[in-house]
Amino acid sequence: WLFPMIFFILLLLAGILRWEKGPIQNQGDFQVAHIKDYWTGQSWVLLFGGFEDFQNETNSEPYPLYSGEWIPHLRSEELREQMELILASEENQAQWRKLEENIKELEEVKSSTREGHDLYLELIEKNNFKNKTSSTEELSAAHQ
């Protein structure tokens, strides 16, 4: 019975010493804990709480609530290695090129609509001052 008891105690100690606890960030009622696994070297993000402020007024479902949900956190180098492995196949490279083309097209649309929106705002500012005086005169004439 001595050997199983010693083994069990060592197993408990190993489990306790496995995790490096990092900082906990708070944002409203939401908490993010950063931890690292000493055995595998993997970093993790733990989510607690939820964003009550982002709950939609018309939505009958409760706001997102997390109770210790584990999300793996990849460093830039690890992410780059994973991307290279995934993009090694021709099919994935073709999809990647297609996505880059779509992004480029959407950026062009964004810039053209940005120019139009800026022009719209300029016109509103110019006409707003002129219309303020005339609209008050029209309102007073309509009420008489």
Read off the tokens for 10.
Answer: 């060592």
**Strands, sheet with 19-27, edge to edge from the N-terminal-most edge strand:** 19-27, 30-37, 43-49, 66-73
What is the pTM (predicted TM-score) of this model? 0.42
Query: According to the model, what pLDDT value does residue 70 have?
Result: 77
Beta strands in 6-144 (DSSP E): 19-27, 30-37, 43-49, 66-73
Query: According to the model, what pLDDT value does residue 75 have?
Result: 79
pLDDT in tens, the chain (144 residues): 889 999 999 988 888 888 888 888 887 777 888 889 888 888 888 878 765 555 555 555 555 566 667 778 877 888 888 889 988 989 999 999 999 999 999 999 988 888 888 888 888 888 875 655 555 555 455 544
Query: According to the model, what pLDDT value does residue 97 have?
Result: 93
